[in-house]
Amino acid sequence: MDHFALKNDPLAIAAREGSLHRNFQGYTTQANLDLLGVGLSAISLFPRLYTQNTRSLNTYIQSLSMAKLAIDRGLEINDPMVLLRRHIILELMCNFAIDFDSIAIDAEKLFRDEWKQLSNLEAEGLLTLGSNNVSVNERGRWLVRVIAAVFDPDTQQKPSGSRLV
Protein backbone atom coordinates (compact mmCIF):
# COMPACT_ATOMS: atom_id res chain seq x y z
CA MET A 1 0.00 0.00 0.00
CA ASP A 2 1.27 3.48 -0.75
CA HIS A 3 0.03 5.04 2.48
CA PHE A 4 1.74 5.13 5.84
CA ALA A 5 0.21 5.29 9.30
CA LEU A 6 1.53 5.00 12.83
CA LYS A 7 1.01 1.67 14.59
CA ASN A 8 -1.86 2.96 16.74
CA ASP A 9 -3.54 5.04 14.01
CA PRO A 10 -7.10 3.89 13.19
CA LEU A 11 -6.04 3.17 9.57
CA ALA A 12 -3.20 0.91 10.72
CA ILE A 13 -5.50 -0.89 13.15
CA ALA A 14 -8.17 -1.37 10.45
CA ALA A 15 -5.51 -2.72 8.06
CA ARG A 16 -4.36 -5.27 10.66
CA GLU A 17 -7.94 -6.27 11.49
CA GLY A 18 -9.01 -6.59 7.84
CA SER A 19 -11.61 -3.84 8.09
CA LEU A 20 -9.88 -1.22 5.94
CA HIS A 21 -11.93 0.34 3.14
CA ARG A 22 -11.21 2.57 0.17
CA ASN A 23 -13.12 5.11 -1.89
CA PHE A 24 -12.09 7.63 -4.52
CA GLN A 25 -10.62 9.88 -1.80
CA GLY A 26 -8.34 7.21 -0.37
CA TYR A 27 -8.32 4.75 2.52
CA THR A 28 -10.85 4.95 5.33
CA THR A 29 -12.01 3.00 8.37
CA GLN A 30 -15.66 3.47 7.40
CA ALA A 31 -17.39 1.19 4.90
CA ASN A 32 -19.85 2.30 2.24
CA LEU A 33 -20.44 5.82 3.45
CA ASP A 34 -22.34 8.21 1.23
CA LEU A 35 -20.06 11.16 0.48
CA LEU A 36 -21.73 14.44 -0.39
CA GLY A 37 -19.40 16.85 -2.16
CA VAL A 38 -19.87 20.51 -1.26
CA GLY A 39 -18.43 23.28 -3.41
CA LEU A 40 -17.35 23.85 -6.98
CA SER A 41 -16.42 20.68 -8.86
CA ALA A 42 -16.89 18.56 -5.73
CA ILE A 43 -17.52 14.85 -6.25
CA SER A 44 -20.21 12.90 -4.40
CA LEU A 45 -20.28 9.13 -4.01
CA PHE A 46 -23.23 6.88 -3.34
CA PRO A 47 -23.28 3.07 -3.63
CA ARG A 48 -23.92 3.04 -7.40
CA LEU A 49 -23.69 6.70 -8.30
CA TYR A 50 -20.94 9.30 -8.72
CA THR A 51 -21.85 12.95 -9.29
CA GLN A 52 -19.80 16.07 -9.82
CA ASN A 53 -20.90 19.60 -9.05
CA THR A 54 -20.66 22.35 -11.62
CA ARG A 55 -17.37 24.19 -12.07
CA SER A 56 -19.12 27.51 -12.67
CA LEU A 57 -19.49 29.72 -9.61
CA ASN A 58 -22.51 31.53 -11.12
CA THR A 59 -24.30 28.25 -11.89
CA TYR A 60 -23.44 26.90 -8.43
CA ILE A 61 -24.84 29.96 -6.66
CA GLN A 62 -27.94 30.02 -8.88
CA SER A 63 -28.67 26.32 -8.21
CA LEU A 64 -28.31 26.74 -4.45
CA SER A 65 -30.51 29.87 -4.44
CA MET A 66 -33.23 27.75 -6.09
CA ALA A 67 -32.74 24.99 -3.45
CA LYS A 68 -31.37 22.63 -6.10
CA LEU A 69 -28.24 20.54 -6.15
CA ALA A 70 -25.52 22.02 -8.33
CA ILE A 71 -24.76 18.75 -10.13
CA ASP A 72 -23.15 19.08 -13.54
CA ARG A 73 -22.78 15.39 -14.39
CA GLY A 74 -23.11 11.92 -12.96
CA LEU A 75 -22.36 8.28 -13.54
CA GLU A 76 -24.73 5.53 -12.46
CA ILE A 77 -23.19 2.07 -12.18
CA ASN A 78 -25.60 -0.82 -12.70
CA ASP A 79 -23.46 -3.30 -14.65
CA PRO A 80 -22.91 -6.35 -12.39
CA MET A 81 -19.48 -6.98 -13.93
CA VAL A 82 -18.34 -3.43 -13.16
CA LEU A 83 -19.56 -3.81 -9.58
CA LEU A 84 -17.80 -7.19 -9.29
CA ARG A 85 -14.54 -5.77 -10.65
CA ARG A 86 -14.81 -2.84 -8.24
CA HIS A 87 -15.26 -5.29 -5.34
CA ILE A 88 -12.21 -7.32 -6.42
CA ILE A 89 -10.04 -4.22 -6.76
CA LEU A 90 -11.10 -2.96 -3.34
CA GLU A 91 -10.35 -6.32 -1.71
CA LEU A 92 -6.88 -6.41 -3.25
CA MET A 93 -6.16 -2.78 -2.37
CA CYS A 94 -7.42 -3.05 1.22
CA ASN A 95 -6.69 -6.65 2.24
CA PHE A 96 -4.02 -7.73 -0.25
CA ALA A 97 -6.09 -10.81 -1.03
CA ILE A 98 -9.33 -12.01 -2.58
CA ASP A 99 -11.01 -15.36 -2.06
CA PHE A 100 -13.30 -15.84 -5.05
CA ASP A 101 -15.07 -18.76 -3.36
CA SER A 102 -16.50 -16.23 -0.89
CA ILE A 103 -18.33 -14.54 -3.77
CA ALA A 104 -19.18 -17.81 -5.54
CA ILE A 105 -17.33 -17.32 -8.82
CA ASP A 106 -14.72 -19.32 -10.69
CA ALA A 107 -12.17 -16.57 -11.22
CA GLU A 108 -9.83 -18.49 -13.52
CA LYS A 109 -12.74 -19.20 -15.85
CA LEU A 110 -14.50 -15.81 -15.63
CA PHE A 111 -11.26 -13.79 -15.82
CA ARG A 112 -9.10 -15.88 -18.18
CA ASP A 113 -7.01 -12.97 -19.50
CA GLU A 114 -6.62 -11.45 -16.06
CA TRP A 115 -5.57 -14.82 -14.61
CA LYS A 116 -2.78 -15.01 -17.22
CA GLN A 117 -1.57 -11.57 -16.18
CA LEU A 118 -1.72 -12.61 -12.54
CA SER A 119 0.35 -15.70 -13.40
CA ASN A 120 3.03 -13.40 -14.81
CA LEU A 121 2.97 -11.33 -11.63
CA GLU A 122 3.22 -14.53 -9.60
CA ALA A 123 6.33 -15.50 -11.60
CA GLU A 124 7.78 -12.10 -10.59
CA GLY A 125 7.22 -13.01 -6.92
CA LEU A 126 4.54 -10.40 -6.29
CA LEU A 127 1.61 -12.66 -5.43
CA THR A 128 0.45 -16.22 -4.95
CA LEU A 129 -2.37 -17.75 -6.94
CA GLY A 130 -4.41 -20.41 -5.20
CA SER A 131 -7.08 -22.62 -6.69
CA ASN A 132 -9.55 -19.73 -6.61
CA ASN A 133 -7.81 -16.95 -4.73
CA VAL A 134 -5.11 -14.33 -4.99
CA SER A 135 -2.80 -13.31 -2.17
CA VAL A 136 -0.41 -10.40 -2.58
CA ASN A 137 3.04 -11.18 -1.16
CA GLU A 138 5.06 -8.77 0.99
CA ARG A 139 7.08 -7.74 -2.07
CA GLY A 140 3.90 -7.17 -4.10
CA ARG A 141 2.34 -4.84 -1.54
CA TRP A 142 4.44 -1.99 -2.90
CA LEU A 143 2.88 -2.65 -6.32
CA VAL A 144 -0.68 -3.43 -5.22
CA ARG A 145 -2.06 -0.77 -7.59
CA VAL A 146 -0.46 -2.59 -10.53
CA ILE A 147 -1.87 -5.91 -9.32
CA ALA A 148 -5.37 -4.53 -8.76
CA ALA A 149 -5.27 -2.77 -12.14
CA VAL A 150 -5.34 -6.19 -13.79
CA PHE A 151 -9.09 -6.16 -13.07
CA ASP A 152 -9.64 -2.61 -14.37
CA PRO A 153 -10.50 -2.79 -18.10
CA ASP A 154 -9.66 0.91 -18.55
CA THR A 155 -6.01 0.26 -17.68
CA GLN A 156 -5.84 -2.66 -20.09
CA GLN A 157 -6.23 -0.47 -23.19
CA LYS A 158 -3.18 -0.11 -25.37
CA PRO A 159 -1.19 3.08 -24.76
CA SER A 160 -1.26 5.74 -27.43
CA GLY A 161 1.06 8.59 -28.29
CA SER A 162 4.80 8.68 -28.73
CA ARG A 163 7.26 6.32 -27.07
CA LEU A 164 10.75 6.92 -25.84
CA VAL A 165 13.16 4.63 -27.64
Confidence check: pLDDT of 48 > 80: yes
Write the CA distances from 46 to 21, 28, 52, 107, 157, integer angstroms.
Answer: 15, 15, 12, 27, 27
More confident residue, 155 or 120: 120
- The answer to whether 88 touches 133, Cβ cutoff 8 Å, is no
More confident residue, 162 or 86: 86
Confidence check: pLDDT of 165 > 70: no
The model's pTM: 0.80
